[in-house]
Amino acid sequence: MLKKILLGILFFTYFSTIFAQIDLDTDNNTDYKDALQFFKAKNYGKSLELFKKMAKEEQPFAMYQVGYMYERGLGVSASEKTAFEWYLKAANAGDAAGQFSLANAYFKGAVVTKNNETGFHWMTKAAEQGDATAQYQLGQLYTNGLGTAKDPLKGFFWVRKSAFGGIAAAQFDMGIHYEYGIMVSKDDAQARLWYSKSAQQGYVKSQTNLASLLFRTKKSASDENVQEAFYWYEKAASKNDLIAMTNLADLLLVPNKDDAQNKQAFALYEKAAQLGDAKAQFSVAYMYENGIGVAQNLTLSNEWMLQAAKNGNELAKKHLEKNKNSN
């Protein structure tokens, strides 16, 4: 469960931390403050002009920012090649953001020959400087054995450091570790703590896992955990998380009643079904067939049942086979 599709999470940007870093490091640097203000005002041309001036004065973070703006075409025509050149200068000058971006360039292999070992080298440099995002990525590299020998223990070490540094994805991973006893003893309280930290940052997977954990550990139907679980399921479902949508619908569904809860459940199943979830497609078919939460419609029921079966839902396959044999 900890293993990720690495490329899906690897190419992060420093944009989320850039302003904080500038404000922290350059209180007395007028050029930095002016460049920042121009950037915030989306006057990218003037901002780039000032960052280039500072970069030529051998200021490492400015080198990184010039690369960032070239990569994204802010105030200049986009050029990954030029961005790479500036990231290389920033990395060699010791800038963690530049090292992080250079590592990603080597993993991506778009403007330079792909080299996972070199990417690992630069990611390590950035992580060792205390950058929490790089620490998380380094943990993933060790866990997956990309650019280095696979070492889950080192992977856990760096992910943990990143989690304490506030990275939501790392906090989610820590929740997984504690909930399932991976590299640590099972501890629902710790799992809840880490999922909560991540969920409060808007990390959807943590919102879903936190809700599921709260339901699993509830002591009664009136337990305050139940109310909190519904809250987090609703938050995640609003972001189209399929697990949250179907779990919340399961909880709302009352098969022998025709009430608002069933209508809410149907709406959630239908949305998940439209997004391709086979379980939800079966549930929509079942509710159409039986008129639960929606007017009975056997034609639509059959259409959704066929779609669910096509997508591998075993209950839908059995249902269709049963109907076929009874005809």
190-204 pLDDT, tens per residue?
A: 999 999 999 999 999
> Residue range 147-164: average pLDDT?
98
Angle at which helix 80-92 crosses helix 96-108, to 10 degrees, equals 130
For residue range 91-125, list pLDDT tens digits in order. Answer: 999 999 999 999 999 999 999 999 999 999 999 99
Residue 230, C-beta contacts closer than 8 angstroms, at least 6 positions apart: 211, 248, 251
> Residue range 71-90: average pLDDT?
97
Same domain, yes or no, for 35 and 100?
yes
Task: Quickly state the pLDDT bin for 24 (edges 50, 70, 90).
Answer: very low
Residue 16 has pLDDT above 60, yes or no: no
Same domain, yes or no, for 139 and 227?
no
Total structural domains within the chain? 3
Query: What amino acid occupies position 139?
Result: G
pTM for this structure? 0.86
**Which class for 79: exposed (0-12), middle (13-18), buried (19 or more C-beta within 10 A)?**
middle
Domain carrying residue 271: 240-326
> Residue range 156-178: average pLDDT?
98
Same domain, yes or no, for 19 and 151?
yes
Residue 56 has pLDDT above 60, yes or no: yes
- Flag whether 222 is in a domain: yes
Same domain, yes or no, for 245 and 155?
no
Query: What amino acid occupies position 156?
Result: F
Same domain, yes or no, for 14 and 119?
yes
| CA–CA separation, 257 and 264 (whole Å) | 13
Residue 9 has pLDDT above 90, yes or no: no
Same domain, yes or no, for 179 and 153?
no
Same domain, yes or no, for 124 and 254?
no
> Residue range 280-306: average pLDDT?
96
Q: Tokens 């920042």 appear where?
A: 36
* pLDDT confidence of residue 263: 95
* pLDDT confidence of residue 30: 87
| CA–CA separation, 56 and 37 (whole Å) | 20
Same domain, yes or no, for 60 and 77?
yes
- Flag whether 137 is in a domain: yes
> Residue range 52-72: average pLDDT?
96
* pLDDT confidence of residue 326: 76
Same domain, yes or no, for 155 and 11?
yes
* pLDDT confidence of residue 256: 78
- Flag whether 2 is in a domain: no
* pLDDT confidence of residue 28: 60
- Flag whether 86 is in a domain: yes
Task: Quickly state the pLDDT bin for 11 (edges 50, 70, 90).
Answer: very low
- Flag whether 130 is in a domain: yes
- Residue 282 maps to which CATH number? 1.25.40.10
* pLDDT confidence of residue 18: 46
For residue range 118-155, list pLDDT tens digits in order. Answer: 999 999 999 999 999 999 999 999 999 999 999 999 99
What whole-number percentage of the chain has pLDDT above 70?
91
